[in-house]
Amino acid sequence: MSATFNITGLQEKSPKLETSQNGKKYLKVSLTVTSSDNRKSWFNNIMLWESMAEDYAKKTKEGQEIELTGDIYIKMETDQQGKKKATIALSVKKFKVLSSKEEESQEEDQSMNSDFDFDADSLMDNENKE
């Protein structure tokens, strides 16, 4: 059994394609989501890899409305201080640019996985800022 997610939000800044130490292309994406009652949530460090990252970087820029769809799962990790933490990972399967550079919608299906990781403490810090 797997859970799915669908997030629609504004891209915080234009993606910057980078290369990992083992030579894989990647980028980190941050989205701001505003709920129907005007509460804001921040989804930071959404990771996209290889061809999905390259395609995403070409088609998106700061301020655009983006929709991400995929699978969600929980990973247990140990930080550098030996403290265990639960991390939610989002495996992005598809993205859709709702307001594109040319002001028309485009949709890209992708078969590669991308992870979005955050720890509960960071989420609570953002919640307390309101």
Which tens digit of pLDDT belongs to each residue from 45-55? 787 889 998 99
pTM for the model stands at 0.66
* Contact predicate 121/57, CB 8 Å: no
Give the CATH number of domain 3-71+92-116; options: 3.10.310.10, 2.40.50.140, 1.20.1090.10, 3.30.390.50: 2.40.50.140
Delimit the domains of the chain by residue range. 3-71+92-116
What is the per-residue pLDDT across 78-95, written as a single tens digit (0 to 9) for each? 989 999 998 887 777 789
